[in-house]
Copies of this chain bind each other. A is one copy, B any other.
């Protein structure tokens, strides 16, 4: 059943169904397709007809009951989509109905129609719309952590743990493009080859942790010291203390996941003697203002490079909504390289 809808003087909307299909977390932590009411975009929101939704580790934690969505966010997983804008809130000015975009979402990305704030949308131009769903979460995470929190600059050394994952493959390209020396870790020969193809000077096997010592001797061109100036860590656990070995004086270490464990025994002496900074974040609790500010930076500093094809999406695999559980299993296996996408059936 279709109904006509109207959102803004002069902006007529497509004919929209009254229901949308969403992937809901069922009682036994599976993802099941459910029809729900089609939402109305709030004043600065847009409704996007989804081409693809990105899968993120946070979705898996949420499905397993290990992460609760923020109070003001949708309980439906999905933090990024690509697609066409089909309806715009009354105060939306930066995008319009008909635009093809990729966008960060506050949950609700696992839907055939998803809401997003207009500020979180990026025009995809002539690029492959499906593949563009690989960008939003990675770019927001990278910009906030590597640049805002850690202040990476040209000629500094960065170590990116998990270089072949969805964030890593974008981080390598962006950091290399901005003139940093990029090193990373990955778990297989094939993944390490991918990382080096994307711009990493060297990719290390994290099963052989002697590389932390090797990294500690790499000259930091900018500061005339040795070691990594910035470390983006998804590992945590025993890698936290090892990061201190690889770190140059005044290094900034940023935790964005703690896959090897959140609790660990650490000597904090190097924090003083090397004047280290350890920080971290999760993206979702940032305020709309903070996210809009990140978005503005990305739009100005990064997006032109993406439109010019200098930073490319890396897609691991694509699953229909009906096989969402397989998509999650693929991420949990750790065998993927780059982004896993879900497509509405």
Residues of chain A touching chain B, judged by Cβ–Cβ distance below 8 Å, are: 149, 236, 240, 255-258, 262-269, 271-273, 275-282, 285
Contact = CB atoms under 8 A, between A and B. Distances in A.
Contacts of A263: 265-268
A237 to B, nearest CB: 9
27 contacts: A149-B275, A149-B277, A236-B268, A255-B268, A255-B271, A255-B272, A256-B272, A258-B269, A258-B272, A262-B268, A263-B266, A263-B268, A264-B268, A265-B265, A266-B266, A268-B278, A271-B279, A271-B280, A272-B282, A273-B282, A273-B285, A275-B279, A275-B280, A276-B280, A277-B278, A278-B278, A278-B279
A160 to B, nearest CB: 17
Contact of A240 (B268, B275, B276): B268
A285 to B, nearest CB: 7
A62 to B, nearest CB: 14
Given A263-B267, A275-B282, A277-B279, 15 more contacts: A236-B268, A240-B268, A255-B272, A258-B269, A262-B269, A263-B265, A263-B266, A263-B268, A268-B278, A271-B279, A272-B282, A273-B282, A275-B279, A275-B280, A276-B279
A279 B256 CA distance: 17
Contacts of A271: 255, 278-280
B262 A267 contact: yes
A271 B262 CA distance: 10
Contacts of A149: 275, 277
A236 B267 CA distance: 10
A258 B273 CA distance: 12
Nearest to A279: B277
Contacts of A278: 268, 271, 277-279
A276 B265 CA distance: 18
A271 B145 CA distance: 13
A313 B240 CA distance: 40
A28 B196 CA distance: 55
